[in-house]
Amino acid sequence: MFPAMMLRTAYSKGYAVTTDDASLVEAVGGRIQMLDDGGMNIKITRPADLVLAEALLSTRGSD
């Protein structure tokens, strides 16, 4: 976790040659904080991931 403004700053400085946003923030001296999300923060990269996300959302109810 890191402030969105820090990510914007990193992109504006041209550090776009990293593997992910966390690496980009670290490249400009930012500190990354890991959080336990209970496994609910999935990355959607394939159609099967979208099916999983829809299933997870349907079990959450209306918050």
* Number of domains forming the structure of the chain: 1
C-alpha 42/C-alpha 31 separation (Å) is: 22
Range of the domain at 9: 4-60
Between the CA atoms of 5, 43, 45 and 4, what dihedral angle is there, to the nearest 10 degrees? 0
C-alpha 45/C-alpha 21 separation (Å) is: 16
Q: CB-hemisphere CA count at 13 Å for 6?
A: 15
**pLDDT tens for the 63 residues of the chain, in order:** 788 888 888 888 876 678 888 888 888 888 888 888 777 788 899 999 999 999 988 887 655
CA 32 to chain centre: 11
